């Protein structure tokens, strides 16, 4: 009986190996036929549609809600306002997403909803893109959210907006227009499992937050407060960063003011649980301009608590080091 069981086990192992080998051969043959383009394995496809505003129509607010697409907002010196957007279809060519597109009194809204038509066995390996083109002089509030996809703001000319809010679950945020962006109110950038990159942006308040990604802030200003929070990633500053109140917080990442960066703030609070606080660039002013509140459990600091300067700096770590240096060496 025992010998018979061993023979069965051996036969099953041989059969399993044969099936695995056959599956590998079929996979290689199939991918070779598809030129190793994994997108061709997708059972979901998209039809790209266009929408253009009438001449003279102005956009004062833009709202986008999309489940699966990259969203790009491009400010153009030459093009008129229009939207190019994908509509999801299944393997039978039937639409499985409901698209709502409306324009009323300056408010432009684009929303995608699966509307209960999603098929659990669909393979979606595509990279659909929503592109919103706005004339360079457009001043409109941006409120954009996507579940799965990057969000990008681009433009060579100076951009002005009353407010900006970008949020994505499984994508990156690239808010770094080369011409710069001036936000009269709040500029908010929220990621979940991606990076947040903010560059050449000024606002009344600037907020950057992500759970499992890094935050990069370069050449940014906030009249009131600039806050950066990353759970399992770094907060990194570059260039000139200026604000009244600066706060940065991480759980398992570093807070780093990189070489060449000058952080200018009247009040600073930096907290990291398992990470270092490192100023490789400089804090504005000299050491005597600050009053320090330094706390570290398992780590060291090159600056102790104390001082009597008008600027207040609080730095706290659990298991990381604190290294500070200043624009003016005293």
Helix (H, G, I), strand (E, B) or coil at 260: coil
How far is the CA of 263 from the CAs of 183, 230, 324, in angstroms?
Answer: 20, 18, 11
Residue from 148, 171, 140, 169 nearest 73 by CA: 140
Residue 257 has pLDDT above 50, yes or no: yes
- What is the C-alpha to C-alpha distance for residues 62 and 101, in angstroms, rounded to an integer? 11
What mean pLDDT comes out for the span 276-288?
A: 98
Over 90: is that where the pLDDT of 28 sits?
Answer: no
C-alpha span between 128 and 251 (Å, rounded): 34
- Average pLDDT estimate for 86-106: 87
Q: Using pLDDT thresholds of 50, 70 and 90, give the confidence band for residue 164.
A: very high
Structure confidence at residue 26 (pLDDT):
55
Residues 293 and 314: their CA atoms lie apart, in Å, by: 5
What is the average pLDDT across 23-36? Answer: 52
Averaged over 27-31, what is the pLDDT?
Answer: 48
CB 221 within 8 A of CB 204: no
Neighbours of 15 (CB within 10 A): 10
Bridge partners, residue 292, by sequence: 306, 313
Q: How much is the pTM? A: 0.85
State what percent of residues in the chain have pLDDT above 90: 76
The DSSP annotation for 81-95 comes to SEEEEEEEE-TTS-B
**Residue from 129, 117, 118, 130 nearest 64 by CA:** 130
pLDDT tens-digit series, residues 48-69: 999 999 988 999 999 999 988 9
Question: What average pLDDT does the structure give for the chain?
Answer: 89
Placement of tokens 């290689």 in the chain: 28
Query: Are 317 and 276 a contacting pair, CB within 8 Å?
Result: yes
Neighbour tally for 253: CB within 10 Å:
25
Question: Quick check: 31 pLDDT over 70?
Answer: no
- CA 117, 171, 270: angle at the middle one, nearest 5? 140
Answer whether residue 118 shows pLDDT above 70: no
């Amino acid at each position: 009986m025992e010998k018979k069981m061993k023979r069965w086990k051996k036969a099953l192992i041989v059969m399993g190996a044969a099936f695995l080998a056959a599956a590998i051969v079929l996979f290689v043959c199939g991918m070779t036929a598809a030129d190793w383009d994994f997108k061709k394995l997708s059972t979901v496809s998209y039809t790209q549609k266009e929408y253009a505003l009438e001449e003279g129509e102005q956009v004062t607010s833009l709202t986008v809600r999309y489940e699966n697409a990259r969203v790009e907002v491009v400010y153009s010196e030459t093009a008129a306002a229009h939207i190019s957007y994908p509509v999801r279809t299944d393997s039978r060519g039937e639409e499985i997403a409901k698209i709502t597109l409306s324009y009323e009194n300056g408010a432009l809204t684009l929303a995608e909803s699966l509307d209960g038509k999603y098929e659990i066995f669909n393979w979606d390996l595509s990279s659909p893109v929503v592109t919103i083109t706005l004339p360079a002089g457009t001043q409109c509030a941006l409120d954009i959210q996507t579940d799965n996809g990057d969000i990008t703001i681009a433009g060579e000319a100076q951009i002005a907006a009353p407010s900006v809010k970008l949020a994505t679950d499984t994508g990156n945020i690239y808010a770094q227009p080369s011409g710069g962006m001036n936000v009269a109110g709040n500029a908010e950038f929220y990621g979940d499992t991606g990076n947040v990159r903010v560059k050449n942006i000024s606002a009344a308040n600037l907020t950057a937050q992500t759970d499992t990604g890094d935050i990069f802030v370069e050449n940014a200003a906030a009249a009131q407060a600039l806050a950066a929070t990353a759970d399992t990633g770094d907060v990194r500053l570059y260039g000139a960063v200026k604000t009244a109140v600066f706060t940065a917080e991480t759980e398992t990442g570093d807070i780093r003011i990189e070489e060449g960066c000058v952080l200018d703030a009247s009040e600073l609070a930096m907290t990291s649980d398992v990470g270092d606080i490192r100023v490789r660039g400089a804090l504005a002013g000299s050491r005597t301009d600050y009053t320090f509140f330094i706390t570290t459990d398992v780590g060291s600091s090159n600056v102790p608590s104390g001082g009597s300067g008008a600027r207040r700096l609080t730095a706290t770590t659990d298991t990381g080091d604190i290294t500070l240096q200043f624009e003016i060496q005293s």
